[in-house]
Amino acid sequence: MIEFFSNIRTEIPQMPLLIHSLILSVLPFLMWLTLVNRDKPLYKTIWSILLGLQLITIYTWFFWAKLPLSESLPLYHCRIGMFVVLLARPGILKDYFALLGVVGGVLAMIHPDFYPYQFLHVTNIFFFIGHFALFVLSLLHLMTQSNLDKLNPKLIIQLTLLINMSLIFINLLTGGNYGFMMKTPILGITNPFLNLFIVTTLLSFLVLFVKQIFQKVRMRASLKTEES
């Protein structure tokens, strides 16, 4: 238990392929579970409580461990999305972050960005809990409360660009790498302006892609309803 909450850094853990595969398999299961339970208020309540507890716990630990502002602010795309999906009222902004939450939930499981502590550490275990909760609550919102017709491609690109430009400014002030604006994972590019282009283009494309999927699914569902 002491090691679980330890503030002594070790190294970024390497996840075995089998465990990584099992974690990835959780996503389609959560999609099915959310589809089945989308109209049950208790299902949303459970995940909302889980996400709320995750955020309280992790930021309490950040404060206790005295992490610098370069690491402890809730300014990664998914962290921002967690607060918006959990607390914001339905609207364009919540629709956008719900789409981003689905994208971010998948990307986070494909390439987890661990903290430099052992694998079974509060930061790394709660990394999965938080992103699973974000994924589920984003799906729930998109299935039940979103109005994606108002979220046009131009607005998606503008919002993504505005967020990323703001993150570059914050990174310059704190020395952080929020949103991977200063150094991208895998590619390792350290030019913030090139990263701005890469991350904005990638996220905008993926958000638009997820939006199209949900709109097509809704259209088919409405056609089936009319036919029956």
The answer to whether residues 106 and 134 touch, using CB atoms and an 8 Å cutoff, is: no
List the chain domain ranges: 17-227
Query: What's the pLDDT tens digit per position in 14-63?
Result: 999 999 999 999 999 999 999 999 999 999 999 999 999 999 999 999 99
- Looking at residue 12, the DSSP 8-state letter turns out to be P
pLDDT band at 219 (very low <50, low <70, confident <90, very high): confident
Residue 198, SS3? helix
Q: What integer pLDDT is reported at residue 153 of this predicted model?
A: 95
Tokens of 54: 């995750």
CA angle 61, 20, 86 (to 5 degrees): 45
Q: What integer pLDDT is reported at residue 181 of this predicted model?
A: 97
Strands (E), 9-106: none
CA angle 133, 134, 140 (to 5 degrees): 90
Q: What is the value of pTM for the model shown? A: 0.94
pLDDT band at 226 (very low <50, low <70, confident <90, very high): low
Distance of CA 126 to the CA centre of its chain: 13
- Dist. CA 22–CA 28, nearest whole Å: 11
